[in-house]
């Protein structure tokens, strides 16, 4: 006769067969990741060799040193970084590297130190009279202060002082981004705001952030909302802000694993291409993608904390200009991770729609055509939504369609602007550049010459002829609606 057990029953484990299956599946996935990663490294072997600008890392201040420094100290450290590039890269170029399309060749027309002003460096623009306010300008990833010079000049013309800081790892050589951390950029942002606070006194302070600089601007604004001892921004202006990135960026660091072995050093780079742009890197290291993703995660954490403790209610108004389509940053994240978290404080999101009049027909991806409706369904919000779109599907002229906070009813007005022929959308890189920009514009202003005109090129011909990537040439590099954006950015008058 069977007896009943009076003790506790043991917990039954998963069947051994299932455990073995899970272990096998995990093993296969790891093998595939490793095989794919080293396969990519093997495919990169025949690519262009790593040059001095890929391997020589200039000296930069650490976050601790940045927090202890002032503006003059940062400029002194910046001088050392550029001197390092001159001594260890420019003066050591091999004969075959001394060509006109190399930004590091001192005899090249695109050699930035030879220009009247090297816009790779940090700068301050002073107004002619008493300063009405101070703006801090934060550029994007792989970029330089050059990208926000037009915005800086507009603030200066309005009587403001413009402070544009070069982020560590930028403006020198691409190798600088192999060692840079997002904490370096955050510390540089704090330094620039300290200088703004010193100069502003009781005058207002604006922050303008482009791309990666947009994430840094919002991160600082959240910190200032939580700490009244920090210099307080009066307004935040974002251009194509990096609020969210694609999931590829999350795992991009895996692509650099083989670089631990000298034979696979190239795998530390996502792109290894000629450096023909005087104010932006073309080569792109894995570390830059990894750090930009880490910055967005830190920003999301700061936003969650601000919502939880209520300090988000002390944020200043945020004005954002974003293209509906953007292959660099996530447009939906601007809505969900930023604007939907903001209080009713006068913020506004401006979206540049695709050209609905473009003769693309069935070539348009259905998801792209519907993105505006799926991303911004009709509903009342805490913030103003403005869409720049075609006045009708059959015309190139655009209108401003604005929905005020607290309502779903939009008002429209004509702008006197239109999509240029053959332009089907804005791009991430086009946002801060007018058509007259000497480097990126379609009709460069007289005298605004930087040795190469990337915005005027309309290449047609055989493959394998040009040193430049056709993908670069096809991507719009100037903003046909810059006059509208510049008018909206125009500094507000200081409070009485």
Helix-strand-coil split of the chain, %, nearest 5: 40, 10, 45
Question: What does the pLDDT look like over 61-116, one tens digit per residue?
Answer: 999 999 999 999 999 999 999 999 999 999 999 999 999 999 999 999 999 999 99
Paired residues of 125 in beta bridges: 162
pLDDT score recorded for residue 293: 93
Residue 297 tokens, joined: 């995660």
Residue 52, in any domain of the structure? no
The CA R_g of the chain, rounded to the nearest whole Å, is 25
**CA–CA distance, 341 with 336 (Å, rounded to integer):** 7
Residue 37, in any domain of the structure? no
Is 201 a residue whose pLDDT tops 50?
Answer: yes
pTM of the model: 0.87
Paired residues of 350 in beta bridges: 321, 386
SS3 240: coil
CB 455 within 8 A of CB 442: yes
pLDDT score recorded for residue 265: 53
Of 243-257, 342-356, 437-451, 461-475, the range with the lowest mean pLDDT is 243-257
What DSSP element (H or E) covers 221? Answer: helix 212-226
Residue 185, in any domain of the structure? yes
Residue 94, in any domain of the structure? no
CB 189 within 8 A of CB 195: no
What's the CATH number where 478 sits? Answer: 3.40.50.1820
SS3 for 321-348 is EEECCCCCCCHHHHHHHHHHHCCCCCCE
DSSP state of 172: S
**CA–CA distance, 417 with 444 (Å, rounded to integer):** 19
Residue 28, in any domain of the structure? no
Residue 405, in any domain of the structure? yes
Considering its fold, how many domains does the chain have in total? 1
Domain that holds residue 251: 115-489
In this structure, the number of other CB atoms found within 10 A of the CB of residue 185 comes to 28
Residue 495, in any domain of the structure? no
Question: What does the pLDDT look like over 300-346, one tens digit per residue?
Answer: 999 999 999 999 999 999 999 999 999 889 999 999 999 999 999 99
Residue 355, in any domain of the structure? yes
Of 149-163, 257-271, 279-293, 425-439, the range with the lowest mean pLDDT is 257-271
């Amino acid at each position: 006769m069977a007896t009943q057990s009076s003790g506790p029953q043991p917990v039954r484990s998963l069947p051994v067969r299932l455990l073995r299956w899970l272990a096998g599946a995990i093993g296969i996935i790891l093998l595939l990741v490793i095989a794919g990663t080293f396969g990519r490294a093997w495919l990169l072997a025949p690519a262009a060799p790593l040059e001095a600008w890929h391997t020589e890392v200039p000296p930069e201040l650490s976050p601790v040193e940045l927090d202890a420094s002032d503006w003059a100290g940062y400029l002194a450290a910046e001088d050392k970084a550029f001197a390092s590039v001159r001594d260890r890269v420019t003066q050591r170029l091999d004969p075959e590297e001394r060509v006109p399309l190399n930004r590091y060749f001192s005899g090249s027309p695109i050699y930035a130190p030879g220009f009247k002003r090297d816009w790779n460096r940090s700068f301050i623009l002073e107004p002619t009279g008493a300063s009405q306010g101070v703006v801090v300008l934060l550029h994007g990833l792989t970029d330089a202060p050059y990208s926000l010079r037009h915005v800086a000049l507009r603030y200066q013309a309005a009587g403001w002082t413009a402070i544009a800081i070069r982020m560590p790892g930028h403006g020198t050589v691409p190798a600088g981004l192999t060692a840079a951390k997002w904490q370096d950029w955050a510390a540089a942002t704090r330094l620039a705001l300290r200088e703004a606070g010193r100069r502003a006194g009781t005058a207002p302070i604006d922050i303008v952030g482009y791309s990666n600089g947009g994430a840094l601007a919002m991160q600082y604004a959240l910190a200032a909302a939580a700490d009244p001892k920090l210099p307080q921004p009066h307004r935040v202006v974002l251009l194509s802000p990096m609020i969210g990135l694609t999931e590829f960026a999350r795992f991009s660091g895996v692509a650099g694993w083989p670089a631990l072995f000298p034979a696979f050093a190239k795998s530390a780079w996502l792109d290894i291409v000629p450096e023909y742009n005087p104010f932006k890197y073309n080569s792109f290291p894995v570390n830059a993608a990894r750090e930009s993703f880490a910055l967005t995660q830190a920003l999301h954490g700061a936003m969650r904390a601000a919502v939880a403790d209520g300090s988000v209610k002390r944020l200043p108004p945020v004005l954002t200009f974003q293209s509906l389509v953007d292959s660099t940053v996530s447009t939906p994240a601007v809505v969900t991770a930023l604007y939907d978290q903001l209080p009713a404080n006068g913020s506004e999101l401006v979206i540049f729609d695709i050209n609905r009049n473009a003769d693309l027909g069935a070539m348009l991806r259905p998801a792209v055509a519907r993105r505006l409706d799926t991303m911004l369904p009709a509903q009342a919000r805490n913030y103003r939504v403005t869409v720049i779109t075609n006045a009708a599907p059959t015309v190139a002229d655009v209108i401003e369609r604005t929905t005020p906070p607290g309502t779903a009813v939009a008002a429209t007005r004509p702008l006197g602007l239109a999509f240029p022929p053959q332009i089907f959308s804005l791009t991430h890189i086009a946002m801060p550049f007018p058509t007259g920009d000497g480097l990126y514009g379609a009709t460069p202003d007289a005298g605004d010459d930087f040795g190469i005109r990337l915005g005027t090129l309309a290449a047609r011909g055989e493959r394998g002829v040009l040193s430049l990537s056709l993908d670069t040439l096809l991507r719009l590099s100037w903003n046909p609606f810059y006059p509208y954006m510049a008018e909206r950015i125009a500094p507000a008058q200081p409070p009485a």
